[in-house]
Amino acid sequence: MSEVRARTLAEKVWDDHVVVKGEDGTPDLLYIDLHLVHEVTSPQAFDGLRAAGRPVRRPDLTIATEDHNTPTLAINRPIADATSRLQIDTLRANAKEFGVRLHSLGDVEQGIVHVVGPQLGLTMPGVTVVCGDSHTSTHGAFGAMAFGIGTSEVEHVLATQTLPLKPFKTMAITVEGTLRPGVSAKDIILAVIAKIGTGGGQGYVLEYRGSAIRALSMDGRMTVCNMSIEAGARAGMVAPDETTFEYLKGRPHAPEGADWDDAIEYWKTLVTDDTAVFDAEVFLNADELEPFVTWGTNPGQGVSLSENVPDPSLIADPNDRANAERALEYMALTANTPMKEIAVDAVFMGSCTNSRIEDLRAFASIIKGQKKADNVRVMVVPGSARVRIEAEAEGIDKIVEEFGAEWRFAGCSMCLGMNPDQLAPGERCASTSNRNFEGRQGKGGRTHLVSPQVAAATAIRGTLSSPWDLQAELADAGATSKAV
């Protein structure tokens, strides 16, 4: 009997895609099952193909959507910004010339590339997925090996359907316990990033494990995997299980009939072997987690909402201290201020991190029947046209509008402000997106990363708030009325 080496989930998926094994320090040549394309990181790649006279090798493994630049209002009118329009027009011309499937603005399958892939059933366990976008890690929620690539690599995949890559190291992130009501997948990943830092995952693929991860829906797992890159890791994965299979079954591009049976048989092997060894391990207790929020200008600068703005003078590492001081200056925050006293100007509910139907449901369930705080503008942007339709069928659009918030068309929107959805200089925003970098949501804008639940509570109260604060208010109101 031959010895089979114990392997992690990541190693199994990797091994099954090696076309040519690297030797003497050369990388493996890895086959790519699915290539997602959008308008921002692809024009120069198609130019490269044209210059070299190369075709797209596998248009049938390639799909494009328009998301980063697209407006979320008046989508039936020509895009006002000339450079945005040029980029969209360029993608349309390239897709036509090279035979690539494209879902344009107005199409029912249009939306954020990382929402569209899973919803079509194209993202599945045990496949390799790449896209010229660092949040490609999202797709790892299905037990896929999915990672962001640069434009040169986009061209490489278009031309060869492969990438030369060295295997990643593996890191287990084990989250045990039960999340309390009001605490969500977003809080798990923000806590993970705060724990290991923005560079902690560099060179690794993360595997999220443990009872708290198993209990998450696919939408929740996607939120967790989405922000793996914010911990420095190119990819994050969750082993597939019944939750995964249930989500996939019946989706347009999911396997059918005998293919489905073959797929399930294989997918069930995609778990880390009991005796496999990770290069690094991290543990987190879900029982203790509270709603989380960032205070600084990188996603690792976060605390529980019940805490205060950290005091940089207490940070030992000089680089981290200088970084924190700079961040507080940019964010216009004073050390030791309770996070919950911070007032916001805007709330953004959307992005590839939190724009799926469950995110919208969570947000809507909290704002239902309420009015938003005065002086706070609230924008709700579904991740895809399909999500928008589904939400409208459930009446979420009405709840949002009655709350006083804006109900928009699908796209990346204010996550990075490539379209008109931007913060004004100095504006402060509670955002369900993934990056609180300086100027990310608009030049001079200040971002606090939060979950949909915290975004909703914040939109009601006007200050950074958790859903628990709303319950406390209700309880107080109840006590008062009894006293009267």
Binding-site annotation, residues for [4Fe-4S] cluster: 352, 412, 415
Handedness of CA 209, 144, 353, 398 (dihedral sign): negative
Asked if 180 and 215 count as a contact pair (C-beta separation under 8 A), the reply is no
For residue 335, which phi and psi values (nearest 5 degrees)? -55, 145
For residue 304, the number of C-alpha atoms closer than 13 Å in the C-beta half-sphere is: 9
The residue range among 19-27, 286-294, 450-458, 476-484 that interacts with another protein, by the rule CB under 8 A, is 19-27
Establish if 149 lies at the interface with another protein (CB under 8 A).
Answer: yes
Q: Which span sits near another protein by CB under 8 A: 142-150, 175-183, 275-283, 454-462? A: 142-150
Longest dimension (CA), the chain: 81
Of 10, 34, 213, 399, the one binding another protein (CB under 8 A) is 34
Chosen residue from 221, 388, 440, 446 binding another protein by CB under 8 A: 440
272 vs 275: CA distance, rounded Å: 8
> How many residues belong to the chain?
484
Closest approach, Cβ 336 to another protein, in A, equals 23
Q: Give the shortest CB-482-to-another protein separation in angstroms.
A: 51
Q: Give the tokens for residue 151.
A: 């434009």
Distances from the Cα of 453 to the Cα of 22, 34, 189, 469, angstroms: 46, 33, 15, 11
| 252 binding another protein? (CB under 8 A) | yes
Q: Which one of residues 15, 259, 281, 311 is an interface residue with another protein (CB under 8 A)?
A: 259
The distance of closest approach from Cβ of residue 243 to another protein in the complex, given in angstroms and rounded to an integer, is: 19
Stretch that binds another protein, among 154-162, 185-193, 370-378, 392-400 (CB under 8 A): 154-162
| Distance (Å, whole) CA 345 – CA 202 | 34
Residues 188-207 that bind another protein (CB under 8 A): 198-199, 202-203
Residue of 231, 224, 229, 173 whose CA lies nearest to 199:
231
CA atoms within 13 A on the CB side of 183: 23
Interface positions, 413-432, toward another protein (CB under 8 A) = 416-418
Candidates 15, 96, 249, 266: give the one binding another protein (CB under 8 A): 266
Of 257-265, 271-279, 353-361, 450-458, which part binds another protein (CB under 8 A)? 257-265
CB of 246 vs another protein, minimal distance in Å? 17
Only one of the segments 216-224, 343-351, 412-420, 451-459 lies at the binding site for another protein (rule: CB under 8 A); that segment is: 412-420
Q: How far is the CB of 418 from another protein (least distance, A)?
A: 5
Reported as half-sphere exposure (CB side, CA atoms, 13 A), residue 341 has a value of 9
State the distance between the two ends of the chain, measured CA to CA, in whole angstroms: 80
Is 229 near another protein (CB under 8 A)? yes
Q: Does 44 bind another protein (CB under 8 A)?
A: yes
Token pair belonging to 156: 């490489």
| Among candidate residues 137, 106, 162, 130, the one with its CA nearest the CA of residue 35 | 130
Gap between the Cα atoms of 246 and 368, Å rounded: 29
**Considering the complex, what minimum distance in angstroms separates the CB of residue 396 from another protein?**
27
The correct pick among 9, 10, 13, 63 for binding another protein (CB under 8 A) is 63
Contact 372, 460 (CB under 8 A): yes
Q: Which of 122, 218, 271, 286 binds another protein (CB under 8 A)?
A: 122
Report, in Å, the least distance between residue 381 CB and another protein.
16
Window 323-362: residues binding another protein (CB under 8 A):
323, 326
